[in-house]
Structure 1
Amino acid sequence: MALKKGEEVTLEIESAAFRGKGVAKVDGLAVFVYGTAPGDVVKARIIKKKKNYREAKLLEVLEPSKDRIEPKCQHANVCGGCSWQHVPYAKQLEYKGQQVADHITRLGGLSDTIIHPAMGSESEFYYRNKMEYSFSNRRWLTREEINRDEFVDDSGFAAGMHAPGRFDKILNLNECHLQRKESFEILDFVRNYCIQHDIPPFDAMKHEGFMRHLMIRNSFHTDDFMVNLVTYQDDQELIKKLSDELLEKFPIITTIVNNINDTKSPTSIGRIEKVIHGPGYIVDKIGDHTFKIHPNAFFQTNTAQAERLYETAREFADLKDGEIVYDLYCGVGTLSLFMSQKAEKVLGIELVDVAVQNAKFNAKENNIGNVSFIKGDMKDVFTQEMVDKFGAPDVLITDPPRAGMHPDVVKRLKELKVPKLVYVSCDSSTMARDLKELAEVYDVQEVQPVDMFPQTYHVEAVAKLRLK
């Protein structure tokens, strides 16, 4: 069967694949269909033709899988934020564990490595401590609206999430279950306030308007709650009136910040930042350490599960008295500080300058004196000179970006031959690629998948390596 682009076919989904797509087989050819579950029989349209596979768009579920459930949120089939709400959480964990195992064994060639079942999150919903909503004068139409015979106007004030693959259109949310319930209630309040007071949303095509984003952050271990209003213009009178209304309606808010981004960049980071109410930051903890989290600072999105991820990394490190730890790609130093309690000293290395400054600040705030941070590109600063200066590491932690480690860093690790290595990853496919190289020098003993993002296909993993 040729399966040409545009062709409609009936498919039986056999398994779950990378990035949350279901897999069907037609004469041995894999067909990937987003929004499906193993066991579904579906009607789909071929939208991409490749030499060894096809991609198809789900048109209709003809026979639902016994593992398919009704999503909690009405937007689940459209919004890109919760791509697996139609799958029971126990099955999500099963598929995520299978995904990591497939990458480690097939891409990494590591058939003897122990791969544990995925570690689930205690909270399946409302687990995020940060949400960033966007505003637009163009909303994403529903499938029902698109299929209508008459014209449907997509203009207006839309507040919610970017439609998948579109920078200019927003899915106008009527509910959201990722962050605590007050998060959506505040979004709804701001949307209605702007409509009532003729405050225009930002037009990404014409670069005009006022409201750009609404970022909400809440602490897990404290009662701190932040609202960050991101605007295209600086109008403090308008912001003050809106803030006063917010504080009266939502007494849980402890701080309000206004980021003013008057550039074409779509980021929520403002060129100017003004604190409207409260201290301008929230305070939270990971383990025994306290962190001041400013509006645009990085902090693990699922606080409770981040602690479990770090505990796994520390367990795999098996720290002993007097040992030196290197933390590559250390970010704002949360994992470095977490390791410092059981290490003689820790050196964190990070490319982003603001992250290094935040890491130093966090160490100082927590009165930790056995942690140092340096700025630099790993492939450039990770040299013998650095080892001579800070001491040879007994344990090395690496938590690279989604693309994995630079080949020069992998090569350097193979040369350095640190006795114990722990690899933390947000992409098991690139981790598997790096582990395959490291396996020439290291024994990759075990891998623990950790689910940081329920209702999505994303999964983190921690690998334990020992020098051969």
Structure 2
Amino acid sequence: MHCAYFDAGACRSCSLMGSEYASQVSEKEHHCRSLLSAYPDVQWLEPVTSVESEFRNKAKMVVGGSIHAPTLGILARDRSGVDLRECGVLQPGIRAALPAVSRFITAARVAPYDVAARHGELKYVLLTESASGGLMLRFVLRSREAVSRIRKHLPDLQRALPRLEVCSINLQPEHKAVIEGEHEIALTSARSLMMPVGDIALRLGARSFFQTNTAVAERMYAQAREWCDAAAPRSVWDLYCGVGGFALHLADGSRDVMGIEVSAEAIESARTSARDAALENVRFTATDAADFAVDQLSEQSPDLVVVNPPRRGIGTELARALERSTVRTVIYSSCNAVSLAKDLQAMPSLVPKQARVLDMFPQTRHYETMVLLQRR
């Protein structure tokens, strides 16, 4: 894949842009294998590849420029806006929607936030497209100053974007490198976007996490289901479950499945998805996943645990709790193989049997890894 923005030096976010895709995947697998070289007997499955372009289901666009000429993309070193609305890694439906969003910013007179001057309102536009074509749009504002104007002009935007299902405003008043604030203002009656993944339709709330590459996420859940079916557990915990992707795909009625996630919004989305799919023997709890597991593993242990932590990994305390437990099988899904390798060292009784690299992020050095661990 080649990108005019990259070639012009306007954006270098995709650090591997222009490199042969097969080489990208090979280098990622080599990097992962080297980090897990302490486990020479692990069986490495064929990497899961992606399409090279038009795979991102979510755009996080910094808003720059002016009311009359807003830019949607990133900021240059001088803090001026760089427009990237034709970015080739975004799904076509997202790119098609961005011009209407730009016109809306002008019509509603929402001033882009000037980082250098600390003046203006609109910081980010966050746009997500589901596999069925629906859109969720969020405006990240510094204050409530523009809320009434956005509400007033929203019907025009909905006519321009008939696929727009969910729209909201997120308030982020602080001047720091944090995209979202704690307060969300719903603008539509629908509060969640349906995201079909395989044979499960997930519900995504405004602040819910979901993988940026839907096709690779589907392969990820399918891999977990394959490993789970082979292990035939009677009970499963999905720690850091988010909107319930793993838990819902593993809930076939033959086993008790519990998902744990700190985000109450994500848990409500997971419960809604479970009801929609008429799944039985699956439940979700909103609490800190690591704290829950460390506390409960000393008293009860499920047969299988799925962990899908943030980049920092599961950490020493949870890893040691799993090590001391009687859990027979662990499926570890990691977005950071460095923290994965560190966590595995703290669980010597849980031996990696199979591993797989999934290229969730083509054109970058990032990737996902899944490892099947079984107790000695």
TM-score (normalised: structure 2): 0.86
Are the counterparts in 1 of residues 124 and 141 from structure 2 also a CA contact under 8 Å?
yes
After TM superposition, where is structure 1 displaced by more than 6 Å over at least 4 residues in a row?
none
Match for residue 74 of structure 2 among 152, 158, 161: 161
Are the counterparts in 1 of residues 16 and 24 from structure 2 also a CA contact under 8 Å?
yes
Question: In the alignment, does 2:21 pair up with 1:84?
Answer: no
* Partner residue in 2 for 1:48: none
* Partner residue in 2 for 1:224: 134
Q: How many angstroms does 1:384 deviate by?
A: 6.6
* Partner residue in 2 for 1:267: 179
Task: Map residues 248-327 of structure 1 onto 2, 5 A cutoff.
Answer: 248-251=159-162, 253-255=163-165, 257-261=167-171, 263-264=173-174, 266-269=178-181, 271-276=183-188, 279-319=190-230, 323-327=234-238
Question: In the alignment, does 2:124 pair up with 1:213?
Answer: yes
Task: Map residues 32-431 of structure 1 onto 2, 5 A cutoff.
Answer: 71-75=2-6, 77-105=9-37, 109-121=38-50, 123-137=51-65, 157-163=70-76, 168-173=79-84, 175-191=86-102, 194=105, 199-220=110-131, 222-232=132-142, 233-235=144-146, 238-240=149-151, 242-251=153-162, 253-255=163-165, 257-261=167-171, 263-264=173-174, 266-269=178-181, 271-276=183-188, 279-319=190-230, 323-341=234-252, 343-383=254-294, 385=296, 388=299, 392-431=301-340
**Structure 1: any 5+ residue segments left out of the alignment?**
1-69, 139-155
Are the counterparts in 1 of residues 104 and 157 from structure 2 also a CA contact under 8 Å?
no
* Partner residue in 2 for 1:443: 351
Q: Quote the Cα distance in structure 2 between the aligned partners of 1:384 and 1:226.
A: 37
**Percent of matched pairs sharing the same residue:** 25
Aligned partner letter, 2:374: R
Q: Quote the Cα distance in structure 2 between the aligned partners of 1:294 and 1:336.
A: 17
Q: How many angstroms does 1:431 deviate by?
A: 0.8
Are the structure 2 counterparts of residues 320 and 231 from structure 1 closer, same or farther at C-alpha, using a change threshold of 3 Å? same
Are the structure 2 counterparts of residues 199 and 411 from structure 1 closer, same or farther at C-alpha, using a change threshold of 3 Å? closer
Q: How many angstroms does 1:80 deviate by?
A: 4.4
Listed one character per residue, the Cα deviations across residues 425-464 of structure 1 (whole Å, up to 9, x for unaligned) are: 11111111122332x2122112100111112111101111
Q: How many angstroms does 1:114 deviate by?
A: 2.4
Are the structure 2 counterparts of residues 262 and 462 from structure 1 closer, same or farther at C-alpha, using a change threshold of 3 Å? closer
Aligned partner letter, 2:71: A
Q: Quote the Cα distance in structure 2 between the aligned partners of 1:90 and 1:424.
A: 23
Name the SS of the counterpart of 2:353 in structure 1: strand
Q: How many angstroms does 1:392 deviate by?
A: 3.1
Are the counterparts in 2 of residues 394 and 418 from structure 1 also a CA contact under 8 Å?
yes
Structure number with greater Rg is: 1
Q: Quote the Cα distance in structure 2 between the aligned partners of 1:467 and 1:395.
A: 11
Name the SS of the counterpart of 2:36 in structure 1: helix
Q: Quote the Cα distance in structure 1 between the aligned partners of 2:29 and 2:95.
A: 31
Name the SS of the counterpart of 1:284 in structure 2: strand
Q: How many angstroms does 1:83 deviate by?
A: 1.9
Aligned partner letter, 1:267: I
Q: How many angstroms does 1:195 deviate by?
A: 5.5
**Structure 2: any 5+ residue segments left out of the alignment?**
none
Q: How many angstroms does 1:136 deviate by?
A: 2.4
Match for residue 365 of structure 2 among 424, 443, 457: 457
Are the structure 2 counterparts of residues 262 and 419 from structure 1 closer, same or farther at C-alpha, using a change threshold of 3 Å? closer
Are the counterparts in 1 of residues 6 and 12 from structure 2 also a CA contact under 8 Å?
no
Listed one character per residue, the Cα deviations across residues 256-285 of structure 1 (whole Å, up to 9, x for unaligned) are: 524052612553457341325x63432122
Are the counterparts in 1 of residues 313 and 343 from structure 2 also a CA contact under 8 Å?
yes
Are the counterparts in 2 of residues 110 and 436 from structure 1 also a CA contact under 8 Å?
no
Name the SS of the counterpart of 1:293 in structure 2: strand
Aligned partner letter, 2:128: R
Q: How many angstroms does 1:176 deviate by?
A: 0.7
Are the structure 2 counterparts of residues 341 and 167 from structure 1 closer, same or farther at C-alpha, using a change threshold of 3 Å? farther
